Structure 1
Amino acid sequence: MELAAEILIVFFLVVSGVFGLVGSFGLVKLPDPMSRLHAPTKATTLGVGGVLLASIVHSVAVEGHLSLHELMITLFLLLTAPITANFIAKAHIHRHEKPSDLPDPEGDRGWASVQTDEKEIAPKP
């Protein structure tokens, strides 16, 4: 394996380790659930992405072909991490916030994750 490929692989692994450590530290040390949600969804996503990039460079440099498995994992990770964070945030709002504590939503539909005693607003035709 060429020295440049080895240096690139080590760089990706070290950077991904730093991002993983920062995300894990933020998950443990941040004060409330909404802050703790931000650290792993951003930092550890970049950490796993760095490991996948190192794996891609390794498969190209050592095995001589591009493996599509890592690209599919990267795509799946980048698509699902924000959606998961959104669901966790909505569950937290639904369980811990009162509708009176939330700001007024724009439009006439209300909040999707908070049930109120007000009558349902019929969708516009």
Structure 2
Amino acid sequence: MNILVEILVCVLLLIGGFFVLVGSLGLCRLPDVYTRLHAPTKATTVGMGGILIASMVLMTYEQGYFSVHELLITLFLLITAPITAHMLAKTALHHENRALRRTRSQHLIASAREQQPPAAPDSPNHD
């Protein structure tokens, strides 16, 4: 195997593994739901992205043609991770989980909880 390919795959695996480790530690160590959302989102996008791109480089070199499976998985993770974090934050707001006292912009959390969902078109309150 070419030494440059091995070095590239090793570097990508180390970067990916580092971000997955940091994201896992952040999930365990951060104090509240809202701050915990950041760590696994970054671990998924950067960490798993690095591992999957390393796999894509290795398989492309081994097979002799471009391996698209890992690229599609990486793109799927890049698209779904922010959406998942947003849904978890909205659920935490709905269940009225408290943020840390030192969190800035506490008034934004209160105003987000007060917002009502839009009325359905066939409801009696809809004009």
Given the two structures, how large is their TM-score scaled by the length of structure 2? 0.78
**For 1:18-71, what per-residue CA distance to the aligned partner results, in whole angstroms no more than 9, with x for missing partners?**
000100000000000111111000133211000111011101211111111111
Q: 2:120 — aligned with what?
A: none
Q: 1:28 — aligned with what?
A: 28
Tell me the amino acid that sits aligned with residue 31 of structure 1: P
Equivalent pairs counted in the alignment come to 112
Which consecutive residues of structure 2, in runs of 5 or more, have no partner in the other structure? 99-106, 118-123
Whether contact under 8 Å (2:44, 2:81) holds in the other structure is no
Distance in 1 (alpha carbons) for counterparts of 2:44 and 2:91: 21
What percent identity do the matched residue pairs reach?
Answer: 47
**1:6 equivalenced with 2:6 (yes/no):** yes
Distance in 2 (alpha carbons) for counterparts of 1:73 and 1:112: 36
* Structure 1 residue runs of 4 or more that deviate by more than 2 Å after TM superposition: 110-113, 120-123
Which consecutive residues of structure 1, in runs of 5 or more, have no partner in the other structure? 114-119
Compute the RMSD of aligned alpha carbons: 2.5
**1:91 equivalenced with 2:99 (yes/no):** no
**1:15 equivalenced with 2:15 (yes/no):** yes
**For 1:65-121, what per-residue CA distance to the aligned partner results, in whole angstroms no more than 9, with x for missing partners?**
1111111101111110000100000000000169x861379xxxx7356xxxxxx98
Secondary structure (helix, strand or coil) at the match of 1:102 reads: helix
